[in-house]
Structure 1
Amino acid sequence: MHLQNLLVFTAPVLALSYRFNPLEHSAGIAPYFTPHNPPIQSSPPQGCNVTRASYLVRHAAIYANDFDYETYLEPFIEKLHNTTQDWKRTESLKFLSNWTAPVSDEHIEKLTAVGLQEARSLGKSLHKKYAHLKTPAKVWSSTADRTVKSAESFISGFTGNHTKSVNLTQIEESKTAGADSLTPYKGCSEYSSSYGSDQSSAFIKVYTKPIIARLKAEAPSFNFTQDDITGMFELCGYETVIRGSSPFCAPSLFTSEEWLSFEYANDIMYFHNTGYGRDLSASLGFPWVNASVAALDDKSSSQELYVSFTHRELPPTVLTALGLYNNSAYTGANHVNETMPEDRVNYNRAWKSSEILPFLTNVAIEKMSCKSYGYDEGEYYRILNNANPQPLVDCRDGPGGSCSKKQFHKFLKEREEQFGDYNKACGGSHLPESLSIYEA
């Protein structure tokens, strides 16, 4: 009787404890966050100390990229300027009566103040996390302004503004560099930035149809389109990283189910563009993995922490090369494309772009020295994504889901046999196939 009363009393309290956050479902426009999925402690496992680490970081938050602005944001903003719709007579769209756009074409691809601060905060965080490691002599960045400025802000935070103590080395975003760059997809003739858009568009048509009907009933003078709906979802993230908040994030505008559909549409696109939808993805990401492990194992190098800044395309390919976020990892079947249907949401998928590539997303390989209860003393490796440990599917014989040195190198050898031929994957071009920037 007492237990029954307790359940009746506590159930409503538990139901109210969860609050849906659309910013954590905004795909590649999500502000930086740690997903805690799975909820494994981010600090080293008991008995382990990190001896070296390598980080790959996407640039920090920008006002908007050129494709999103030209395809979705600008057309929607122009329609708002020209419409006769009286927004004050609406319910969920009242804010549009005095809303002003946070971005124009002069801002495209530029970092926001929020982005710069978050890059600086990441620097402070890693300095605290790895206080026992040597300050890196070098930090690397591709040559785009947004990656360079993200790296500069990171260095400022890491060094407490003593930026001259770290050399920022810029790596040209060149088609001829092949895999020897932080943008290996640029030298790959088989890669296309538009790949995945057809698959994503098929689902966008499905999920936006009821939204358009609902908003049309509320604002009949405004001809809402699929692109308008996409732009409104995107403005939630972009306006937040510009102004700190956005009315487009309001729960009265889009439901959690609609947000999950927007996220899934992006997941489909990234899945086919930089994920498991193509074997090419792993071949693009493997060179960074291989170079990082070689650097971590190089006893002749005095550098203990490696940090590089790139664009959103590379981190997902690295995670794919490592076999992480694989929807079909435990099925025993190689039908990975069937796990991302284009007519409905797969809510139980592992591949979620909001967790994989928010602004400032970072993938890390840590090398640890462990003397932990129940495990052999020695060296172990683990993978972090946005400070969240991600145990490898076929390599987790160590503490905290880490992988022993012997098993990790065996795992890498197997992945190299599958995905290590960059030139073959990219159409047989004779380009550099390995990443050498970390070599001492």
Structure 2
Amino acid sequence: MNISSLLFLASLSTPLAAAEASDSKKDFNILHHLGGNSPWFPAPSISGLDINTIPSDCKVSKAIYTSRHASRFPDPGAYNEWTTFHQKIQNATFEAHGELSFLKSWKPVVEYPTEQLAQLSIGGWGELFNFGATLRRRYLAFWTPESNKTVFANNYPRTISSAQLFLHGYLGPQASAHGTVAVVTSSNPLSLSNSLAPSDLCPMYHDNSDPWATQWDAIYLPPILERVQKLIKGDLKLQQSEIALGMYLCGFESQITGKKSEWCGVWREQEVRGYEYRQDLRYWYGNGSGAGVSGSMMVEYLGDMVAWLDNGEDEGLKVAFTHDGQINQLASALGVFDGHAALNPRKIMENRTYKSSNITPMRGNVALERMDCTGKAAGKYVRVILNDAVYPVVGCQDGPGKSCELEKYQALVKEKMDKFGSFQERCGLNGTAPVRKSFLVDLDQAFVSLIKP
């Protein structure tokens, strides 16, 4: 990849960034409150700590990031909803006013469905290139001209593409020569530690969030529908599901086109916060802290992350790519939300720290850093980071910068693993689990294949 190509990739996010900057004088940016449908943004601090400020007498000796794929085009099912809605609009006789005055001329922004559906968008390319460049700058000491960089990807087109584009941002023109993507494929549920999507291997995994989410739908959607319907004169009658679709379109159209979607201007702040809370309920009860077994799928992988932080391997940075469900499962296991009150399906919990927009936006990521400190606080510590925001571990934040002593964090993670029992037990699988060999430290395994960026 030549320099002009790299400069092109670096500029991909500029139009949307400018659109976001135009809201800088306001307290509310809709693109930061769409749950899993938000383009990536740095999460707001809940700790008062700056990720770029390392505590005195400390240095980051290792860091491991697990990221969702970047912004993408819709999946086929979602795209069918877009086209069905578009056809309904075209078949109706109406006039739309105010914030909906664009409705008659609206059409889905996917130009080539066969090639684009479910794939990364141009906005996603920019997110990934910038992600790679950001980590290169953040951890300068982890790279030398002779460095080879391997990143990991779940065996799915958009996660593999995410890993490849990340490497171009991290390594620049040297990506093809010095970068490798390790694609992790595991169809054996007895070797779940070698999977970046273990829920696919668990028969007991079920997303049971609907009872909670539908309760909230019945509360927050009707008033929005009533208000918006008054902007339409004619025979076009909107449904509650189409109100939610309009908020979904705000996020997707903005990152696909690189400019803020007209749909974003339809919704009032409190209406968007209702949509965001719906996303929170979906993730909390679907595969998070309120989901029981279904929220435990990434506990073993977290154990592997912590074990890698404490081993003697020289490489200072690991990066892996997977999907939003796995990011939510991993974030829920970290200990930063331990003791968090269960989300109320009938009223927004204003003081909650669990917000899906800050956890699982497009390209949302979870990171653990090992800090080696000297002086009065000499020792090894873990710092937890979600989308560039430092999240203290509940009950373990006495170290420098509210970090957790590595040994104590290892014990906390082991306690979680013991609580849930083995993957085989909680997933109702028979058979004896083999010796666990994590792909993070052992690439010479049958389910790992290597490709170039």
Verify same fold: TM over 0.5.
Answer: yes
The Cα of 1:403 is off from its aligned counterpart by 1.1
Matched residue type, 1:256? E
In the alignment, which residue of structure 1 is the partner of 2:132? Answer: 123
CA deviation map 1:1-26 (0-9, x unaligned): xxxxxxxxxxxxxxx95331111001
Deviations 1:10-51 (A, max 9, x none): xxxxxx953311110010011111112213110222221111
Q: Please name the residue that 2:393 is paired with.
A: 392
Give the Cα separation in 2 of the matches to 1:136 and 1:20.
42
Shift of 1:180: 1.9
Q: Distance in 1 between matches of 2:272 and 2:430?
A: 41
Q: Which residue of 2 aligns with 1:311?
A: 323
Question: What CA distance in whole angstroms lies between the structure 2 residues aligned with 1:371 and 1:150?
Answer: 37
**1:122 positional shift:** 0.2
Aligned-pair CA distance for 1:242: 0.4
Shift of 1:307: 0.6
Q: Is 1:190–2:204 an aligned residue pair?
A: yes
* 1:32 is the counterpart of 2:40: yes
CA contact (8 A) 1:178 1:433 kept: no
Name 1:438's counterpart in structure 2.
440
Q: Find 2:333's aligned residue among 297, 300, 321.
A: 321
1:101 pairs, out of 101, 108, 114, with 108
What residue is the counterpart of 1:222 in the other structure?
236
How many angstroms apart in 1 are the aligned matches of 2:150 and 2:223?
A: 52
CA contact (8 A) 2:337 2:394 kept: no
* Alpha-carbon contact 1:287-1:433 (below 8 Å) kept: no
Determine if the alignment matches structure 1 residue 405 to structure 2 residue 420. Answer: no
Secondary structure of the residue that 1:141 maps to in structure 2? strand
429-438 vs 94-103, greater mean Cα deviation: 429-438
After superposition, residues 82-97 of structure 1 pair within 5 angstroms as: 82-87=91-96, 90-97=97-104
User: Kindly, what percent of the aligned residue pairs are identical?
Assistant: 28
Q: Which residue of the other structure, out of 55, 60, 65, is the alignment partner of 1:50?
A: 60
Q: Is the 8 A contact 1:179 1:434 kept in 2?
A: yes
- Say if 2:82 and 2:108, in contact at 8 Å, map to a contact too: no
- The 5-angstrom pairing of residues 148-163 of structure 1 reads 148-163=160-175
d(CA) in 2 for partners of 1:277, 1:199? 11
Please point out which of 229, 244, 264 is paired with 1:249: 264
Give, in angstroms, the shift of residue 283 of structure 1. 2.5
The Cα of 1:54 is off from its aligned counterpart by 0.8
Q: 1:102, 1:173 → 2: CA distance?
A: 35
Question: Is 2:6 the counterpart of 1:19?
Answer: no
Match of 1:363 among 358, 362, 366: 366
- What letter matches 2:95 in structure 1? D
In 2, Cα distance between equivalents of 1:212 and 1:363: 36
Structure 1 residues 179, 281: closer, same or farther in 2, change over 3 A? Answer: farther
Q: 1:353 aligns with which of 345, 351, 356?
A: 356
Deviation at 1:174, TM superposition (A): 3.3
Give the deviation of 1:68 after TM superposition: 3.2
What's the secondary structure of 2:106's corresponding residue? coil
Deviates more, 1:218-227 or 1:101-110: 101-110
Q: Cα offset for 1:231?
A: 0.7
Query: What is the alpha-carbon root mean square deviation over aligned residues?
Result: 2.0
Counterparts in 2 of 1:65 and 1:439: CA distance versus 1, 3 Å = same
Q: How far apart, in 2, do the equivalents of 1:151 and 1:296 lie?
A: 21
CA gap of 1:434–1:209, structure 2 versus 1, over 3 A, is farther
Please give the alpha-carbon distance, in whole angstroms, between the structure 1 residues aligned to 2:253 and 2:179: 33
Change (3 A) 1:204 1:36: same
Deviation of the 1:416 alpha carbon: 2.2
* Counterpart code for 1:92: E
- Out of 277, 298, 303, the position equivalent to 2:311 is 298
- How far did residue 159 of structure 1 move? 0.2
Of the three residues 76, 83, 89, the one matched with 1:80 is 89
Q: For residues 364 and 413 of structure 1, what CA distance do their matches in structure 2 show?
A: 18
How much has 1:130 moved relative to structure 2?
A: 0.7
1:284 maps to 297
Separation (CA, whole Å) in 2 of partners of 1:410 and 1:243: 46
Is 1:267–1:351's contact at 8 Å kept on the other side of the alignment? Answer: yes
In structure 2, what is the equivalent of residue 133 of structure 1?
142
Alignment length, in residue pairs? Answer: 407
Larger CA deviation: 44-53 vs 76-85: 76-85
Letter in structure 1 aligned against 2:50: Q
How far did 1:173 drift? 5.7
